[in-house]
Structure 1
Amino acid sequence: MKLGAYTACLHDRSLDETLKILGELGLTGAEINAGGFVPAPHLPIDDLLGSAGAREDYLGRFAQAGIALTGLNVNGNPLNPDPAVGPRHAADLHRAIEIAALLGVDRVVTMSGAPAGEPGGGVVSWVVNPWDSQYLDQLDHQWNDVAVPFWTDIDARARDAGVKVCLEMHPQNLVFNPATLRRLVERTGATHIGAELDPSHLFWQGMDPVAVVEHLGELVFHAAAKDTRINAENVKLYGVLDDRFTRWPADQHPVGLGGRNTLNRWPEDPAWEFVAVGRGHDQDFWARFLRALAAVDPGMAVNIEHEDREFDQVEGLRLAAENLLAAARAAGV
């Protein structure tokens, strides 16, 4: 098993400095951003596409640091009906598959996306509780007319490239739990689409990530190490569908997500929040999680994703790495 980190939290550092930090933390893998919601400063895309020598030099930097390049990440919404977002994210995904193949990297991480709820619609619609038939009408359009054709094509591209596409089961996407992941695989006949098992979004939806791994089995291709703390007193009042997010003021330069879209500000007292590995669930959980992943694939890559607001980039990574490595020792993987 390769324990590493997704390097988006270190985009203010050079690639070489980032790899040095990971090595000092005892990690042996790195997942590099290739587009989508955030830029790709650690991936010289044009150089890698255009030159075998550039690809050799790039991989040499990882080898010199003792870090394996275990995946490319292109999280975004390739089905977004906004012409400034969806087509660009889709193109980034196509290109990430191509670059991964050229680099000999066999995992690309992304999201399934969500389109508009009706033909010609201009706004993303996410249906989660289709008790009214109009919501099933929306889902029929989203799946039959948009998602199935798009992901059938992606599966063919991935198959030709020898790359596995790993979907993060993320709310605000058509695929957000095991049932919807299986639905996509079955509806497209996919052989090269499966799950990137990120427990953080499963926790707040009330799922058991270990049970999810065991249920999906060989459809789990890749994994993330990100924890979630459920704030029980706040859940009593707001539930897990806590919608009290607010806009960042323009003068505070909110993070862009494509087109005119930006990242919003969390509530001060959220029902749940992302935290470093070990701050939401104890070592016993993480050891069981790693054992379940190893039972599927002993060589699986598990990459820390740091989004704990109480720690800076390096300190958050350090705490997560210490706890993840301790769990790995306890798990015997």
Structure 2
Amino acid sequence: MKLGFLTACLPQVPLADIAAWAAENDYAALEVAVWPKVGGREFEAGHIDVAHFGAGQAEEVTELFAKHRLTLSSLAYYENNLHPDEGRREEIAAHVLHAVDAAALLGVETVGTFIGRHPGLSVKENVALAEQTFPRLVDYAGERGVKIIIENCVMEGWHPDGYPGNIAYSPELWEWMFSLGLYLNYDPSHLLWIGIDPVTALKPYVDRIPHAQAKDTQLDPLARDRYGFFGKTLSREHPWDEGWWRYRVPGLGQVDWSGVVDALYEGGFTGVLSVEHEDPVWGGTEEKVKQGLRIAHRTLSPLIVG
């Protein structure tokens, strides 16, 4: 197992500078954000332009990672593949395929994304839509030696009432998506606040987890007693303003990291555990983000066998 981080937390920093900093701070891998340059939402970045990527660019990236003795663990484009607008849905699918092509050129085994959700349809109707949408993506990736991995983020901010906006949030739904040839980019932080024990949920599925993420969650049960499980309603200031929990870097929330890492080892996981930094306390400036990554490293590195 290696420890890395997702580059989306440093959207304005060039990949070459991120790689140098990661190596200097004893990270062994990077999960590289590949959103289109026209993106711009928080926690999105375009550190590799996969839509205009060829052998020359692949050689440059490969040399960069070799120079710093880093592993490029995955390409990350977490978008709503079941977007209600069909045109936008096709744009997203096309970019996923660009990411697959880039991964194949780089020798990277996985591309990460979301199932997503059409908020106007039931979960069962979304399952049917996904069964029409994903087979061509999975087949295209498989032909190029790439796995599509799905993060189990709830994406409640994509739903107008804070309900799940990504239908991959529970083991029941993981088993369904495995039947489509998809894999899991396991992140324990999302399970904690929806009432699922992250370690118990992880153990049966390690063989379907080629890549994992590390994010923590800090809970406030007293606030939950006011707002309820789905968070604020009338007083919600923005789609991600749940009011009773928030993401933190590993070590500053309630995730049992010793249990998570031990379960990964016990299940035979040999991939990368990638810190996904969305901590509002250690965010806002480049230096604060980097300090958050240092905190995460101090928490996780003692658990990982060199």
The alignment's TM-score, normalised by the length of structure 2, stands at 0.86
Partner of 1:198: 187
Partner of 2:223: 234
Select 2:57's aligned residue among 54, 73, 96.
Answer: 54
Q: What SS does the corresponding residue of 2:53 show, helix, strand or coil?
A: helix
Say whether the 8 Å CA contact 1:169–1:198 is kept in structure 2: yes
Q: What SS does the corresponding residue of 2:132 show, helix, strand or coil?
A: helix
In structure 2, the CA distance between the partners of 1:295 and 1:236, relative to structure 1 (3 Å rule), is same
Select 2:249's aligned residue among 276, 279, 294.
Answer: 276
Q: What SS does the corresponding residue of 1:70 show, helix, strand or coil?
A: strand
Counterpart-to-counterpart distance in 1, 2:2 and 2:20: 16
Question: Radius of gyration: which is bigger?
Answer: 1
1:315 aligns with 2:291: yes
Counterpart-to-counterpart distance in 2, 1:281 and 1:292: 17
1:212-251 matches, cutoff 5 A: 212-244=201-233, 245-247=236-238
Counterpart-to-counterpart distance in 2, 1:147 and 1:317: 35
How far apart are 1:303 and its partner, in Å? Answer: 0.4
- What residue ranges of structure 2 are gaps of 5+ in the alignment? 155-164, 283-287
How far apart are 1:170 and its partner, in Å? Answer: 2.0
Say whether the 8 Å CA contact 2:206–2:269 is kept in structure 1: no
Q: What SS does the corresponding residue of 1:323 show, helix, strand or coil?
A: helix
Partner of 1:184: 177
**Aligned amino acid, residue 246 of structure 1:** E
Residue-pair matches, total: 284
1:10-159 matches, cutoff 5 A: 10-35=10-35, 40-49=45-54, 52-83=55-86, 85-115=88-118, 124-125=119-120, 138-144=122-128, 146-159=129-142
1:18-45 CA deviation, whole Å, 9 max, x = no partner? 1122122211000011227655431032
- What residue ranges of structure 1 are gaps of 5+ in the alignment? 116-123, 127-137, 248-263
The alignment's TM-score, normalised by the length of structure 1, stands at 0.80
Partner of 2:162: none
Counterpart-to-counterpart distance in 2, 1:14 and 1:159: 30
Identity %: 27
Counterpart-to-counterpart distance in 1, 2:126 and 2:46: 33
CA RMSD, aligned part only?
2.0
**Aligned amino acid, residue 81 of structure 1:** P
1:54-84 CA deviation, whole Å, 9 max, x = no partner? 2112111011112110000110001102246
Q: What SS does the corresponding residue of 2:135 show, helix, strand or coil?
A: helix
